[in-house]
Structure 1
């Protein structure tokens, strides 16, 4: 009996795919390859054991678990002491600054001046010393040398450029004491652009606690008297 003949290939029909041939099995490892694999595994296990032992010993010496994956600097006792010293100095300076402002609000201008001056003299390396210079300049305008006060205002207006209070105070002083109307207008424009409250005399008197003489100078500037 003859096997059935394959169907004829008609024109335009795709040819039948070739029969699948199973891939040969992978070549078994040789004895040499097995020895290399065993040697590599043994080396890895030995390195892991050594690392674990070193980590455990370090933990025993340090009195705690080892830090995993941390390679940053260790904070020493000297670092902690330095940080505590800076925090203490900042706290002292803030306390003096707030005390000066409270004394200024109570009208105790000589005591306020002393407090502001201490901040400027003893904590000049801190940024908040510039704000103490603002208070010092305002109080000097009331009880000290007005020329010195204005000079300090000008310095601080550069160091704290954009701080509206110093620009408003300088505008009042320049107008009333230096008769520099144009410079005063420039300073006041900066101040009121940043904080429109400085057009209100009650605000500088009751909220900012400006000295009476500086409030009067601002009044003269606003009213052009």
Structure 2
């Protein structure tokens, strides 16, 4: 009969048992899981934002198409639309009269041109383009009206439209021929030709700008000092 095998000591059993497997993480797998977690957070945030936007759009749907979130009033009132339409209509009418006056002036129909320019000046004085109608009115007045009134109009407009070469050139011609103010004429003509040298060309003012014949003659006298 064999004697029983003595039991192993606890320490020996611990030494003989195989070690448990380790789960050491590589840096690449850890960074991959971190990136995946960030992507999940980003997707969750986008879903929440989309849900909130959809709820806001649904709430705004009752206020009409194009309504602003959190704004219950209309963007533009009917009164504002009507006022804008009225201003646009007035501007269109004034532009039409101004262009008509220039066409009549080009055809040599000076009384009719004067009437058209005068309508713009009187009926649309609140619009900036009325100053350009005053230019046409002054030029036509020089041909068929009182030249003193024409020159007074030119002087006034040359201040309102300082730097507009046509009015400075016309005033230079009139000051030289009618007021015999050569020095003032030279100053005005220097401004005009600095801005637009074409005003030294009589053909330009006659055929392109359609100045009245008497004003073209006055400019000729000034340029030739005759």
Give your verdict on TM over 0.5: yes
The residue that corresponds to 2:217 in the other structure is 216
Distance 2:64 2:145 in 1: 62
- Report if aligned partners of 2:60, 2:68 keep a CA contact under 8 Å in 1: no
Indicate the residue corresponding to 1:135 in structure 2. 136
Partners of 1:65 and 1:193 in 2: how far apart? Answer: 52
The equivalences for 1:1-225 within 5 A come to: 52=55, 56=58, 58-60=60-62, 62-64=63-65, 66-68=67-69, 74-225=75-226
Aligned positions, number: 176
Give the gaps of 5 or more residues in structure 2: 1-50
Q: Which residue of 2 aligns with 1:12?
A: none
RMSD, aligned α-carbons: 2.4
In the TM superposition, what whole-angstrom CA distance separates every residue of 1:8-41 from its partner, at most 9, and x where no partner exists? xxxxxxxxxxxxxxxxxxxxxxxxxxxxxxxxxx
Which ranges of structure 1 fall in alignment gaps of 5 or more residues?
A: 1-47
> Larger helix proportion, structure 1 or 2?
2
Looking at CA atoms only, which structure, 1 or 2, has the larger radius of gyration? 2
Cα distance between partner residues in 1 of 2:124 and 2:218: 31
Query: When the two structures are superposed, what TM-score results if normalisation uses the length of structure 1?
Result: 0.73
- Structure 2 CA distance, aligned partners of 1:223 and 1:184? 13
Counterpart of 1:33 in structure 2 is none
Q: Structure 2-normalised TM-score?
A: 0.72
Write the distance in 2 (CA, Å) between the matches of 1:73 and 1:197.
Answer: 52
Cα distance in 1 for residues equivalent to 2:152 and 2:126: 21
